[in-house]
Amino acid sequence: MAVNLKGRSFLTLMDFTPEEIRYMLDLAHDLKAKKRAGIQGHTLEGKNIVMLFEKTSTRTRSSFEVGVLDEGGHPTFIDKNSSQFGKKESVEDSARVFGRMYDGIEYRGSSQKLVEDLAKYSGIPVWNGLTDVDHPTQILADMLTMEEHIAKPLAKCKVVFVGDIRNNMSYAWMYGCAKMGMDFVAYGPEELVNQVDRTILKRVDDVASDTGAVIQVTSDPSALEGADVIYTDIWASMGEEAEIPQKVKMLSPFKVTREMLDMTGNEDVLFMHCLPSFHDFETAMAAEQKELGYDIREVTDEVFRSRNSVVFDEAENRLHTIKAVMVATLGNQN
């Protein structure tokens, strides 16, 4: 049956079938080609979207904003200091107001329940721009990037996520890999292996048993063997900055290095990262932490800049995939 995502929200990849995810990836490939050809789109003409950011962003904000403008729509940006949302007005009331004025809502913040409530009460498509337990638009961009660089189907690929294996990116990858029948390993310290959410693991294992995916969580470095992708993320996610000392101690052995890439046995292994990244001391936070005695780099500068690294392709693909999500769920035609 033809895929039709009109009117749907995009809260987590767990809500979509493999065919629906395939459809959004194919649409993103097409939209990328259209953008490269300099063709202005019209599929979001007359559509107004609101972008709610309770946490900061570079890529996600830019992608929603440029994406909607590229297709003829109009964005409104609201950050946590510039509306009544969540302070003087409940999520339910705000959602009902946005639903009267806009055609779609992007939300970035901590709570997955909040993004679900926005969808429940607004009556219009809501798109998850990151929560504490998911980052589904990032996974679409990463899959698109893999398809551009790896000459085999996603279902034959192995992704190893290294580092803070109980964060939003690790869980988002579990969901994506389970759905697309991929091999996924969350590789991190033993103490974090035990903190990975068992309810999430049960849910992804149920999906994996249908799709043929394999989802593992381990502290055993032999899991790196045969990886097509080594993926990492910053050690202290937004809101976790006070935990930097413990995180550095715990995660330093999991810094992505050339030696770690070599352990995959795959000289063409891709290094991937959602960004932002600490790979040198050219940021205020990395420099401040260095003064305090903490090296917060989760990857060496050599790997970040190596021929294996596709991090800026991923960043660009945020635009094409986020645009695909908006066009699929809200577009006038596609």
Query: Does position 155 bind ligand CP by CB under 6 A?
Result: no
Out of 274, 303, 324, 325, the only residue in the binding site for ligand CP (CB under 6 A) is 274
Residue 135 bears catalytic tag: yes
Query: Does position 169 bind ligand NVA by CB under 6 A?
Result: yes
Query: Does position 60 bind ligand CP by CB under 6 A?
Result: yes
Q: Which does 58 bind (CB under 5 to 8 A by kind): ligand CP, ligand NVA, none?
A: ligand CP
3-class DSSP assignment, residue 229: strand
Query: Does position 168 bind ligand CP by CB under 6 A?
Result: no
- Of the candidates 156, 200, 145, 193, the one whose C-alpha atom is nearest the C-alpha of residue 174 is 200
- Of the candidates 77, 55, 82, 53, the one whose C-alpha atom is nearest the C-alpha of residue 66 is 77
3-class DSSP assignment, residue 266: coil
Q: Which does 115 bind (CB under 5 to 8 A by kind): ligand CP, ligand NVA, none?
A: none
Backbone angles phi, psi at 315, to 5 degrees: -60, -45
Residue 8 bears catalytic tag: no
CA-CA distance, 277 to 316, in Å (whole number)? 15
Q: Which residues pair with 74 in a beta bridge?
A: 48
Q: Which does 230 bind (CB under 5 to 8 A by kind): ligand NVA, ligand CP, none?
A: none
- DSSP-derived secondary structure letter, 299: B
Out of 155, 201, 275, 285, the only residue in the binding site for ligand CP (CB under 6 A) is 275
Query: Whats the size of the chain, residue-wise?
Result: 334
Out of 167, 277, 300, 329, the only residue in the binding site for ligand NVA (CB under 6 A) is 167
Q: Looking at 138, 157, 164, 320, which residue is catalytic?
A: 138
228 in Cβ contact with 269 (< 8 Å): yes
Catalytic positions: 108, 135, 138, 233, 274, 318
Interface residue list for ligand CP (CB under 6 A): 57-60, 130, 138, 274-275
